[in-house]
Amino acid sequence: MCPVQELQDRVAQNRLHHFEMVPGTEKDRRPKGDPLRAVKEYARPAAGKDATNPTDLRPPAVLLKTVHYLINEIAATPSRHPWTEVYGFVFDRLRSVKQDMIIQRVSGSECAALLEPIVRFLIYASYRLCGEPLRLYDPRINDTHLQEYLSWLLDCYTADGGPNPNQEEFQALGLLYNLDSMRARQHAMELPQQLRTSSSVTLAMSIGQAFLERNPVRLLRLAGGLSFLQTCALHRHLVACRRDLLLIYSHGFSSRNCRFPLDRLARLLHLDSALAAQLCQLCGLRVDLENQVLFSKSAFVEPKQTSLDCKLYHRKISEKQTSLSRLLLRGLHETNTD
């Protein structure tokens, strides 16, 4: 997974990541590199730098092993290091995989096999690290790379032409992640019949439809039927969706005598009552002592971006999570939970 020369250089320069060190030598002045765990790092191409040595290029079979190692042994394995560090390491090493892929012009189903676990990993990360401080995790950077890999993967499927058992999963993930994109929706509409009518894509399209029709009640209800990873893909849109529900209801139920039971609202929002009440307050809506929400169009205010902490609403999502390793490497072959 790592060229011999690079490993030697990095050991000599003390530039090993602790995931690459021989266990027990981490605190040494010059930790030992473990050739079984060292992974070629990302090197920014620069003018004046030597072009990649062809012998350092890892062929697709090796790249696949590398990706599986990174996902299985690093990303999905519990570690005493914070997950932000795990993410940082895996993210960087995957970038190097991508470099080798591009130089060698890997394409077709080989390419897809490499990209699929990477896309799943980044989608999972977008949920897992949501809310982390910017210096440790930048959602925009994750998004940029995720969009690139996803786009590349979908292109692979198109270019390949033939059926691919995982394509359904990723077309759906793409739709959910890019819920508000007309472009993604139009692309999905143009998919071949068989794909378009597959269960994942159909569900993703219905959720998109509910979004377009501005029916957050329906959207949240349908979202309940998504798998864990699908929910991760969708999750960044859910806060806005819940706020939208409160906005629409503020107008639709606006009357002097309005009394809307908090419990019922909580159920519609797919949150527990305490969180629902808190969200109401952030939007300027009063909840009286009998736990009734007083919807009022004049009272509604746009909640401040900073006050909306997506992480608070993660609990329902995390309940769906199953084995991470199986999820990231094998994807869809888990049943949808309730």
Partner 1 sequence: MAHITINQYLQQIYEAIDNHEGSFCAELLSFKHPHVANPRLQLANPEDKCQQILEPPYDEMVAAHLCTYAVANHDFVEAYKFQTLVVAFQSHKEENALPIMSAVTLDLRIFANNAEQQLQKKGKGHPGEMLEKAAEQLMSCFRVCASDRAGIDDSKKWGMMFLSNQLFKIYFKLQINKLHLCKPLIRAIDSSNLKNDYSQAQKVTYKYYVGRKAMFDSDFKPAEEFLSFAFHHCHRSSQKNKRMILIYLLPVKMLLFQGHMPTHQLLRKYDLMQFSDVTKAVEGNLLLLNEALSKHETFFIRCGIFLILEKLKIITYRNLFKKYLLLKTHQLPLDAFLVSLKMMQVEDVDLDEVQCILANLIYMGHIKGYISHQHQKLVVSKQNPFPPLSCLS
Which one among 33, 117, 216, 331 touches partner 1, defined by CB under 8 A? 216
Of residues 67 and 210, the one with the C-beta less far from partner 1: 210
Spell out a b/e string for 166-189, using b for 16 or more CB atoms within 10 Å of the CB, else e: bbbbbbbbbbbbbbeeeebbebbe
Please work out the total of residues on this chain that contact partner 1, with binding judged by CB under 8 A. 33
DSSP-assigned states of every residue in 227-244: -HHHHHHHGGGHHHHHHH
Q: Report in angstroms how near the CB of residue 123 gets to partner 1 at its nearest.
A: 22
Choose the stretch contacting partner 1; rule: CB under 8 A; options: 30-38, 216-224, 276-284, 326-334: 216-224
Choose the stretch contacting partner 1; rule: CB under 8 A; options: 29-37, 85-93, 111-119, 183-191: 183-191
Choose the stretch contacting partner 1; rule: CB under 8 A; options: 41-49, 78-86, 180-188, 330-338: 180-188
Which one among 217, 299, 308, 310 touches partner 1, defined by CB under 8 A? 217
Per-residue contact string for residues 249-268; x = within reach of partner 1 by CB under 8 A? x-xxxxx-xxxxx--x---x
Do residues 248 and 233 touch, judged by C-beta distance below 8 A? Answer: no
User: How many CA atoms are closer than 13 Å to the CA of 178, on its beta-carbon side?
Assistant: 20
Of residues 291 and 321, the one with the C-beta less far from partner 1: 291
In whole angstroms, how far apart are CA 180 and each of 177, 214, 233, 313? Answer: 9, 11, 12, 20
Rule CB under 8 A: is residue 182 a binding residue for partner 1?
Answer: yes
Report the candidate in 4, 136, 113 with the shortest Cα–Cα distance to residue 63: 113
Q: Report in angstroms how near the CB of residue 216 gets to partner 1 at its nearest.
A: 7
In whole angstroms, how far apart are CA 187 and each of 23, 90, 263, 332? Answer: 48, 30, 39, 21
Residues of the shown chain interacting with partner 1 in the complex, contacts defined by CB under 8 A: 159, 182-183, 185-187, 189-190, 209, 212-218, 221, 245, 247-249, 251-255, 257-261, 264, 268
